[in-house]
Amino acid sequence: MDMDKVILLEKRVGELETLMKRYRSEMLELKENNIQLEREILFLSEGLEKYKIKYHHKADMIIHDRERKLTAVAEIKSPVKVTHDDIRAFYTLGDRARETAVLLVKGYTNEEIAKKEKISVVTIRSRVARLQVTFKVNRRRMLIEKLQQVMDYALREEMGLHHEAEVPEAH
């Protein structure tokens, strides 16, 4: 009986050794596959980085070109010229009209200005219309552009940074 047990144990050991060889072989294959996958991932990520750099640069160039074109168009489309009369008109504005002008330049809508100043939208429309007459413009956008330029000039003047040549004399 002891001999039968030994033979059975030897047989069992042989089966276990075969299984271990197969598992080692499979593990080796998995490691090789893993290494191959890591190489592929590295290759793809390097390619992705090159792609990102190439197309990011291209996108920056496109954006820069669009900004340049938009600036050129804005310069062409902006017929708003500030005169000394505009500067004088700005300094003679009342406090309420000046507050409305500042809020217009900040991008507020008539409704937002009315809410902020706690008055009706009709009153704000009336103020905007009077400002358009005062600054001799027909459109809200032109009024805002002129007010921006006048306020910039006024700020530079207050800081002592203006030049007389900046604003042409009124005709």
Q: Which of 38, 60, 77 is the last residue of a domain?
A: 77
pLDDT band at 86 (very low <50, low <70, confident <90, very high): confident
* Residues spanned by the domain of 68: 1-77
Q: Are residues 112 and 55 in the same domain?
A: no
User: Which band of pLDDT confidence, cut at 50, 70 and 90, is reported for residue 2?
Assistant: confident
User: Is 169 a member of any domain?
Assistant: no
In the predicted model, is pLDDT for residue 155 greater than 60? yes
The Cα–Cα gap between 80 and 149 comes to: 9
Q: How many domains does the chain have?
A: 2
Look at residues 77, 104, 126 and tell me which one is the last residue of a structural domain: 77
Residue, of 104 and 2, whose pLDDT is higher: 104
Reported as a pLDDT band with limits 50, 70 and 90, residue 104 is very high
Among 43, 77, 111, give the residue marking a domain's end.
77
* Dihedral (CA of 149, 153, 158, 159) sign: positive
Confidence of residue 14 (pLDDT cuts 50, 70, 90): confident
Residue 168: inside a domain: no
